[in-house]
Amino acid sequence: MIMKTSHFTNIGSLAELKRAYRRLALQYHPDRGGDITIMQQINLEFGKLYAVWKDRRDVSETLTGYENDYSDASAREYTEFVYNEYRWRGRNYKGQRVPEIADLIRTWLRETYPRYRFSVTRDGYGSIRIFLMSADFEPFAKDSGIIYHDVNQYHIDSDSVLTDRAREVLSNIRDFAMSYNYDNSDVMTDYFDTNFYLSLGIGKYNKPYKVVLPRLDCKGKKAEVFRHPEGKAHKAVRQALGKARFGFLDSHKFHGELILGEDTYSRTGERFFWPKTYSSAKTAQKRIDKLEQAGIRCELTGCGEGVIRFIGYTPVTEHQLETERQEYAEAYKAWQEKHQLQTV
């Protein structure tokens, strides 16, 4: 008796059914780029045919090697065995945890792309985020008009926003990172077990991608550049603020007040100033304490999602900042005069 369905044809024994199922699993397994919907349909058809053939003693004319393939398993158990057998595991995975893998990726990026700058961070316990922040090439298509972009690791080759060089670099990074991953997930039963989830991108919403051309060594004397050491007060303020700054909001509620926030960008490069909000007074106070240590007087204002308002500098800090500004201006003026005399 020969049986067939939409996916199984010319099935004449249980061994032939198992062989056909394995071939289909290799073709449509989600971990190998297959279609989960088709795989689910294949499992349904396999279950029906398995019920027909499991107790029959029909034997193929030639041995296939599948006669004793999980011989005592039910249809469901057999599909689970095969599904797990064909799951994906990276060639470099040897039980490393996510923090260790993130460090390995950072080291590899520094060695492989020494002139490029990356941001490699962990988001929680099971995610690694890799962003290309600067390099010597344009990563976006000419007509895209964007300055940062989140990249789907599964569709790098078909991402029309990216240039060929960007696709090449990101594909190489993805392949290296995923070589330390494993995936025991079963999306058909909503079971997820993977070492880490990978996110890729070029630039960020608060720090756009930057093209940085390599410096060429010029013969002869190089042009002088003015340099002056950063003052202690300016350095303390800069370190206390970090990536944030005090700026004005387009808000009637905080009209004319300087609020702590950060600059963000749309994908097309439009800049926005976004306030840092605090739902916890305790968390806000930690930030205020850090700012006050640098001589910045500020306070938490607003209810619910509060913001930090700038009051002013302490008298000592204000005096130090002004002194350092004057020292900088005088040093720059002296440098200009000296430079002009040398070029006359």
Residues in the chain: 344
**pLDDT value of residue 344:** 46
Of these ranges, 86-90, 178-182, 283-287, the one predicted with the greatest mean pLDDT is 283-287
**pLDDT value of residue 191:** 53
Q: What is the DSSP letter of 189?
A: G
3-state helix/strand/coil string of 40-76: HHHHHHHHHHHHHHCCCCCCCCCCCCCCCCCCCCCHH
Name the packing angle between helices 75-85 and 14-28 (round to 10°). 40
Cβ atoms of 300 and 278 closer than 8 Å:
yes
Percent of the chain at pLDDT > 70 equals 85
Choose among 340, 266, 274: nearest CA to 307: 274
pLDDT in tens, 94-141: 888 999 999 999 999 998 898 899 999 998 778 999 999 999 889 998
Q: What are phi and psi of 250, to 5 degrees?
A: -85, 70
Q: What is the DSSP letter of 200?
A: E
Is 277 a residue whose pLDDT tops 60?
yes
Among the listed ranges 28-32, 45-49, 164-168, 269-273, which one has the minimum average pLDDT value?
A: 28-32
Whole-model pTM over 0.95: no
pLDDT in tens, 142-197: 888 899 999 999 999 999 999 998 999 999 999 899 989 886 655 455 555 678 99
Strand, helix or coil for residue 289 = helix
